[in-house]
């Protein structure tokens, strides 16, 4: 099973600033990585798949990069509505699909 590790556990960023979230895989997952946003009390929502492709309707301030074992989700200019927990998920070697433990993004 591939273990996904996200850092930091909590990130506090001011509105308008850049937020950078990291995800590391225990072995290469190529570009088979997705990112999800889970706002309080809601279901997760797909943000990024294929490591860097934005899902339909996702604002351009969200971008993904990386391949192999190191990945990054960047929010270029943080908005107050971006308060959420963000999860990465690998789908390269399965079953099982595996998720990271999440990064909680707080607004300063």
Partner 1 sequence: QLHLQESRPGLVKPGDSLSLICTVTGGAISGSNYYWGWIRQPPGRGLEWIGSISYSGSTLYNPSLNSRATISVDTSQNQFALNLLPVTAADTAMYFCVRDLAHHDVLTGQLQSGWFDPWGQGTLVTVSS
φ/ψ of residue 82, rounded to 5:
-85, 0
Choosing from 45, 62, 70, 77, the residue that interacts with partner 1 (CB under 8 A) is 45
Indicate whether 95 belongs to the interface with partner 1 (CB under 8 A): yes
Choosing from 21, 23, 34, 73, the residue that interacts with partner 1 (CB under 8 A) is 34
Identify which of residues 32 and 69 has a Cβ nearer to partner 1 in the complex: 32
Give counts: helices (H), strands (E), the chain.
0, 11
What is the C-alpha to C-alpha distance for residues 82 and 36, in angstroms, rounded to an integer?
A: 12
What is the C-alpha to C-alpha distance for residues 96 and 98, in angstroms, rounded to an integer?
A: 6
CA angle 17, 51, 103 (to 5 degrees): 50
Identify which of residues 17 and 92 has a Cβ nearer to partner 1 in the complex: 92
Binding mask 54-83 for partner 1 (x = CB under 8 A): -x----------------------------
Task: Tell how far CA 102 is from the center of its chain.
Answer: 8
User: Which residues contact partner 1 (rule: CB under 8 A)?
Assistant: 1, 32, 34, 36, 42-46, 49, 55, 87, 89, 91-92, 94-102
């Amino acid at each position: 099973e591939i273990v996904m590790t996200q850092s930091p556990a909590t990130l506090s960023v001011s509105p308008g600033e850049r937020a950078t979230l990291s995800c590391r895989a225990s072995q290469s997952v190529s570009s088979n990585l997705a990112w999800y946003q889970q706002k309080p009390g809601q279901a997760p929502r797909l943000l990024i798949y294929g490591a860097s492709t934005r899902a339909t309707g996702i604002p351009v301030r969200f971008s993904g990069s990386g391949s192999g074992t190191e990945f990054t989700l960047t929010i270029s200019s943080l908005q107050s509505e971006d308060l959420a927990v963000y999860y990465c998920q690998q789908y390269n070697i399965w079953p099982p699909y595996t998720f990271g433990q999440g990064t909680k993004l707080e607004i300063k």
